[in-house]
Amino acid sequence: MSKRTLEFELATPGVDAQGRPIRVPLGAAATAAPELAGEHMLINLGPQHPATHGVLRLVVELDGETVVRVIPHVGYLHSGFEKLGEYRHYNQIIPLTDRTDYLAPMSNNVGVALAAERLMGIEVTPRCKVLRVIACEMSRVISHLVWLGTTSIDLGAFTPFLWAFQQRERVYNLQEMWTGARLTTSLTRVGGLMADIPAGFADGLREFTRTFPDTLNEIDGVLTRNAVWAGRTQGVGVMSAADAINHSLSGPMLRASSVPYDVRKDKPYLDYETYEFDVPVGEHGDVYDRYLVRLEECRQSTRILAQAIDRLPDGPINVADPRVILPPKSRAMTDMEAMIYHFKQVMEGVKAPVGEAYVGIENPKGELGNYFVSDGTAKPVRWRIRPPAFINLSALPTLAEGHLLSDLIAINASVDIVMGEVDR
């Protein structure tokens, strides 16, 4: 972690001795000189706003320029995913998950597939595990790239947006090569994947992992030691480690507040323990550290991608159990038993045993959990998505109160919300 080289004494209320943000006492100006005090103004940083990263609505009570209170209103993109999940087979739920966190679709597909497989007690093939790791890390890169681009626009730097989106298009090309779709990939199936990687994928990915760090270094060079960027992000929106745990933050928000918790390291899945990568942890827990953590995570993901593509084993991508995976078309058309399995799966879906299962994976936004409760039928009784962005956003009032309005924009950007997941 690059030691912080730019220390700015803060014009805005920053951090007091114990690391807690200084709260501007309400009506401070009122006590000092009553007639000078202005009235508070209620404004809407409403659903349709370029700086809210989606249809989030913040009702802000302003005393001049200082944010006295922030009341977030969410639900403007509530699409009833969990209700729809109860009307769908497990394999039909996977296309829904692309639309929750549409910045990291493949990672969500893997999350639901892992939960369903844990519920049904299925162990996937080694090749499928490595391909799923590739899918997760590619999603982490493109999700952080969108975050980098839009946050730098919020704070006034437009070029990183274009650099980031150019690299993102390269990953979109790879995703399109693999799954046929740029964004709604629906990659996984219960027990395997929808398709194996095509011929040119491995070389394209290797080429990407080789040249992508150059763009990262460019963005790093433009932003990290930029006086404006550091001035607007250091000491802004500070959250201490204890508060971060108490607010159930996860992902880069938690690690920026110096809590070294990463699901890939602490509750490993998909053999993550066999990859060597390190987890960036911040010290101050402010917007600047969240930026540094996310930037470093992009580099670590590239390292993992490089290792994964080198160690990709051969073999099948789907588990051999015909009750779970559709038999290949050739056998389904010739072998009677395969046709029966094919018919039963398509018409009745994959039956899950009675019980429940929760699997949390390290999504770019934080710990994305999928909790399935099943009563033995092919459709879950309850499909609960543990939304990291929703829980991280609930800490916004404590982060932003007492700061200036422009800091509120920086803090809201640093929380890295995606409204499809916040509102589900």
Residues 309-368 that bind other proteins (CB under 8 A): 353, 355-360, 367
What is the rounded distance in angstroms from the CA atom of residue 151 to the CA atom of residue 165?
A: 13
CA 336 to chain centre: 44
Q: How many residues of this chain interact with other proteins, rule: CB under 8 A?
A: 101
- DSSP-derived 3-state class of residue 265: helix
Q: Which residues pair with 357 in a beta bridge?
A: 372
- Interacting positions 285-304 with other proteins (CB under 8 A): none
Beta-carbon contacts of residue 94 (< 8 Å; ≥ 6 apart)? 109, 112, 113, 186, 188, 189, 190
CB of 294 or CB of 379, closer to other proteins: 379
Closest listed residue to residue 116, CA positions, set 355, 326, 328, 327? 355
Half-sphere exposure of 407 (CA within 13 A, CB side): 32
For the CB of residue 64, give the shortest distance to other proteins in the complex, in Å.
Answer: 4
Q: Nearest distance from residue 137's CB to other proteins, in Å?
A: 19
Q: x/- site string to other proteins, residues 230 to 269, per CB under 8 A? A: -------------x-xxxxx---------x-x----xx--
For residues 200 and 376, which CB has a smaller minimum distance to other proteins in the complex? 376
Q: CB nearer to other proteins: give 103 or 216.
A: 103
Residues 96-125 that bind other proteins (CB under 8 A): 96, 98-99, 102-103, 118-119, 121
**Shortest reach from residue 105's CB to other proteins, in Å:** 8
Alpha carbon distance 195, 131 (integer Å) = 10
Stated length of the chain: 424
Interface residue with other proteins among 177, 183, 279, 326 (CB under 8 A) is 183
Tokens describing residue 390: 């929703």
Where in 74-214 does DSSP place strands (E)? 188-189, 192-193
Nearer to other proteins, 79 or 274 (CB): 79
Q: How far is the CB of 107 from other proteins (least distance, A)?
A: 14
Distance linking the first and last C-alpha atoms of the chain: 34
Enumerate residues 11-70 that contact other proteins by CB under 8 A: 11, 13, 24, 29, 36-50, 54-55, 57, 59, 61, 63-64, 66, 69
Q: Applying CB under 8 A, does 419 fall inside the site for other proteins?
A: yes
Judged by CB under 8 A, does residue 84 bind other proteins?
A: yes
Shortest distance in whole angstroms from residue 34 CB to other proteins: 12
Among 258, 373, 405, 406, binds other proteins (CB under 8 A): 373
**Out of 258, 398, 405, 406, the residue judged to bind other proteins by CB under 8 A:** 398
Cα-trace Rg, the chain: 23
| Residue type at position 371 | Y
Minimum CB separation of residue 188 from other proteins in Å reads 18
* Closer residue to other proteins in complex, CB, 307/406: 406
* C-beta closer to other proteins: residue 161 or 303: 161
Amino acid in position 412? N
Nearer to other proteins, 171 or 338 (CB): 171
Does 221 engage in binding with other proteins (CB under 8 A)? no
Residues near 22 by Cβ (< 8 Å), separated by ≥ 6?
Answer: 13, 14, 15, 16, 402
CA 269 distance to own-chain centroid:
17
Which CB atom, from 59 or from 312, has the smaller least distance to other proteins?
59
The yes or no reply on residue 205 touching other proteins (CB under 8 A) is: no
> Of residues 122, 130, 146, 187, which one binds other proteins by CB under 8 A?
146
Answer yes or no whether residue 194 interacts with other proteins by CB under 8 A. no
Stretch that binds other proteins, among 124-132, 330-338, 405-413, 415-423 (CB under 8 A): 415-423
The answer to whether residue 161 forms part of the interface with other proteins (CB under 8 A) is yes
Spatial neighbors of 270 by CB under 8 A, at least 6 apart, are: 110, 114, 129, 132, 133, 136
How many whole angstroms from its chain centre is CA 234? 23
Q: In the window 378-397, what residues touch other proteins (CB under 8 A)? A: 379, 381-382, 384, 386, 390-391, 393-395
Q: Transcribe 46-106 into DSSP letters.
A: -SS-GGGSSS-EEEEEEETTEEEEEEEE--TT---HHHHHTTS-HHHHHHHHHHHSTTSHH
CB of 364 to other proteins, least distance (A): 14
Burial of 214 (0-12, 13-18, 19+ CB in 10 A): exposed
